[in-house]
């Protein structure tokens, strides 16, 4: 499944409060940037992931987030945005700000 214009609009609505948003399509998904810094991806399946490692990754895991894994089983330092934030731009923005600060 490829990223649609509706998917891109959703991302801009969700993370709009951050400002400075841009994106780049890649491998069927989307890289999401704030002021040129990548902080999230949208997978080709439509899942939103935040860049995270260390304490921030642990905080996401405590919220029920799961780590992005490629088909070969290798993981990447991206974790799903907590479900409660998917419908709340303020909460999504707060998680995204933490991702940006942790980079």
pLDDT digits 0-9 by tens, 60-85: 999 999 999 876 656 678 999 999 99
Instruction: For residues 31 and 47, give the distance between their C-alpha atoms in angstroms, rounded to a whole number.
Output: 12
pLDDT value of residue 1: 66
Give residue limits of the domains in the chain. Answer: 5-102
pLDDT digits 0-9 by tens, 6-43: 999 999 999 988 889 999 998 889 999 999 999 999 99
H-helix or E-strand spanning residue 3: none
Whole-model pTM?
0.91
3.40.50.720, 3.90.650.10, 3.30.1460.30, 3.40.710.10: CATH of 5-102: 3.30.1460.30
């Amino acid at each position: 499944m490829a990223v649609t214009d509706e998917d891109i609009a959703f991302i801009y609505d969700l993370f709009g409060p951050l400002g400075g948003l841009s994106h780049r399509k890649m491998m069927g998904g989307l890289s999401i940037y704030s002021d040129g810094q990548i902080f999230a991806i949208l997978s080709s399946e439509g899942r939103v992931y935040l860049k995270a490692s260390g304490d921030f990754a642990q905080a996401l895991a405590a919220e029920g987030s799961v780590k992005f894994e490629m088909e070969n089983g290798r993981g990447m330092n991206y974790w799903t945005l907590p479900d409660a934030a998917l419908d709340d731009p303020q909460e999504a923005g707060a998680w995204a700000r933490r991702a940006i600060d942790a980079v």
